[in-house]
Amino acid sequence: MKKLLIAAVVASLSATTLLAANDAFAQNGSTAAKKATAKKPAPKHRLIKRKPTKSVAKTDPVPEGSVLWSCNEGASFDLKGDMKRDQIVTVHWANKNYNLPREATTTGADRFHDAATGLDLVVIPTKAMLFSDHDGSRLADECKTAAMQQGEPAPTQSNALKSGS
C-alpha cells in the first residue's frame, strides 16, 4: 500500500508540475505575443526623403539690362555687358546664365570664352556666333541685335576704336 500511495503522490506531483509548466509556458507565450503586438510596425516609407533622381533643370532669370541677339533658325540669346570695355559678359543661353571672360585675339574679333562650361562667343562686325567646345558644335549663327539688323555694326572693341579715332 505504501507503494500505491507513493505512486499516487508522484503522479499527482507530476500532473501538478506538468500543469504548472503549461500555465507558465502559456503566460510566457502570451506576454511574448503582447510584446510583439506592442512593438510599433515598421514604417512603410523612409523618414528622410531623398531628392528624386530626375532633377528639374534650373532656370536662371534673364539678367536685367541685357540685349537680345536673334539668330538663324529661331535661336536667340541675351547678352549683358559692354563688349567695348567689359572683361566679363553674361550670356543667357538655354535658360542658364554663363559668365564669359574676354580672350585676346589677333583678328579684331571679340571673343568671350569660358573653358569650364565650354561656351564660346565670337563677335565680328557683322554678326555673332555661339559655339560649344564640348562637342565642337555651333549653337547659334548669324546672331544680331535689333540695331545690327538696321545696319549698324556690332558693338565690339574694334568698332569702338575705329569710330573713336
Per-residue pLDDT at 113: 96
Do 94 and 148 reside in the same domain of the chain?
A: yes
Per-residue pLDDT at 155: 85
The label of the residue with cell 506531483 reads 13
Nearest alpha-carbon partner for 79 in 140, 135, 162, 164: 140
Q: How many domains does the chain have?
A: 2
Do 13 and 77 reside in the same domain of the chain?
A: no
Is 69's pLDDT higher than 80? Answer: yes
Do 6 and 84 reside in the same domain of the chain?
A: no
- Interatomic CA distance for residues 29 and 23, integer angstroms: 10
Q: Mean pLDDT for the chain?
A: 81
Residue 11 domain boundaries: 1-30
Q: Which residue has the higher pLDDT, 118 or 25?
A: 118
Those residues whose C-beta lies under 8 Å from the C-beta of residue 149, and which sit 6 or more positions away, are 70
Do 25 and 97 reside in the same domain of the chain?
A: no
Give the DSSP H/E element, type plus range, for residue 102. strand 96-103
